[in-house]
């Protein structure tokens, strides 16, 4: 069963899910990359994509 988040979450190129906190992406689900875990900061060079409707809505609002 997939976990439902009540805040925007983003998928990363290294796996796992992150949430944005004060301009920094923090893992809420462990990525595939060894050495990173939940609550770690996502590497700045990684890209993100919306993983839930709240993230998609946030992205659309930022583009408008």
CB atoms under 10 Å from CB of 28, counted, come to 17
Sequence-distant (≥ 6) Cβ neighbours of residue 12 within 8 angstroms = 18, 25, 31, 42, 46, 47, 48
CA 1 to chain centroid: 19
What's residue 64's pLDDT? 84
HSE-CB of 61 using CA atoms within 13 angstroms: 8
- Domain extents for the chain? 10-63
Q: What is the pLDDT of residues 22-35, one digit of tens each?
A: 999 999 999 998 99
Residue 1 has pLDDT above 70, yes or no: no
What's residue 55's pLDDT? 97
Q: What is the pLDDT of residues 25-61, one digit of tens each?
A: 999 999 998 999 999 999 999 999 999 999 999 999 9
């Amino acid at each position: 069963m997939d976990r439902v988040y009540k805040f925007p979450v983003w998928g990363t190129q290294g796996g796992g899910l992150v949430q944005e906190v004060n301009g920094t992406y923090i893992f809420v689900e462990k990525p595939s990359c060894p050495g990173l875990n939940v609550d770690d900061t996502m590497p700045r060079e990684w890209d993100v994509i919306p993983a839930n409707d709240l993230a998609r809505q946030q992205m659309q609002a930022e583009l408008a």
